[in-house]
Amino acid sequence: MTPYAALPALALLLAVGGGALWAQQGGRTAPAATPPAAPQRVVSLNLCADQLLLALADRDRIAGLTRNATDPGMSAAAAAARGLPLIRNAAEQILVAAPDLIVGMPASGSAAVAALPRGSFRTLDLPTADSFDVIRRTIRLTATALGHPARGEALIARMERDLAGVPRPGRGRVAAYYQRRGYMTGTGTLIDEMMGRVGLVNLAAKLGKPPLSQLSLEEMVAANPDFLIVESASDTITDQGSEMLHHPALRGIPRLSVPEAWTVCGGPAYGAAVHRLAGQIQRHDGARR
């Protein structure tokens, strides 16, 4: 695309972008403009933002999702994303999409957005969710920006009802979220909160590990957790990274598997991941009786 070809899209961005401003005049605070209207064309720059838009936005208002949005291995909303425009995080494609709202984590930190004329579009910066409290906040922020706050509250209410029914079969037993190449997820993470909701204790907390650390096979065997939590994709060996999770030394540790697409983002799939963990623990315990 030549610089001149992008001008019509840029002009549209300049026409619709920007929010309400408040001006100080004569010691008085007065509204300079009405709040921005509900966006008509919304673009996502982040896999997690994709899933929030799919849950909260009108389908015909979604002007672009990331290329991972339709990948079932990465996105819990892959089926819903099919048929919608997919874009790279590139300034040219954003211009062509002509959005009046760009959503990301954060959107303003994107190199593509930084390459566009400053102030020519509205952006919504969402925090990365490391707890259900933050999930609630991202849902409210997104729903409000889309002009559908009631949808956000309805989604939160459904998730709260769903989580209220989760059993706690872990009973204080220890689990390690163990990933390819020996990475282990620690405290202060969404995975850690999921463990707590089903009554499990995170091995990383017992060992004083940071949010992300590496634990060798020998160290894991010595720690001897009651469960290993693994990503479903690693149930089969696909490469050296997943091969270590199938080492004979680990065979004696029961496994709980959860799709990565349900845990990579803090969003609507959070409840499904928690229920899956609880259900697998219950089936494990039932099989031992």
Identify the pLDDT of residue 100: 93
Measured over all CA atoms, what is the biggest interatomic distance in the chain, rounded to whole angstroms? 78
Rounded to two decimals, what is the model's pTM? 0.83
For residues 38 and 95, give the distance between their C-alpha atoms in angstroms, rounded to a whole number.
19
- Pair of tokens at residue 258: 């959860």
Instruction: Give kind and range of the element (H or E) at residue 90.
Output: none
**255: helix, strand or coil:** strand
**217: helix, strand or coil:** helix
For residues 110 and 45, give the distance between their C-alpha atoms in angstroms, rounded to a whole number.
8
Per-residue pLDDT at 13 exceeds 70: no
Per-residue pLDDT at 31 exceeds 90: no
Per-residue pLDDT at 69 exceeds 90: yes
**17: helix, strand or coil:** coil
- The least confident of 29-33, 37-41, 269-273, 281-285 is 29-33
- Mean pLDDT of the region 198-204: 98
Select, from the ranges 4-13, 32-41, 116-125, 262-271, the one with the highest average predicted confidence (pLDDT): 262-271
Alpha carbon distance, N-terminus to C-terminus of the chain: 66
Query: DSSP character for 265?
Result: S
CA neighbor of 191 nearest in space, from 242, 105, 201: 201
For residues 286 and 200, give the distance between their C-alpha atoms in angstroms, rounded to a whole number.
17
Identify the pLDDT of residue 35: 54
For 117-171, the pLDDT digits (tens) are 877 789 999 999 999 999 999 999 999 999 999 999 999 999 999 999 999 999 9
**210: helix, strand or coil:** coil
Identify the pLDDT of residue 1: 42
List of E strands, the chain = 22-25, 28-31, 42-44, 62-66, 86-87, 101-104, 123-125, 174-177, 183-185, 201-202, 212-214, 227-231, 255-258
For residues 287 and 2, give the distance between their C-alpha atoms in angstroms, rounded to a whole number.
65
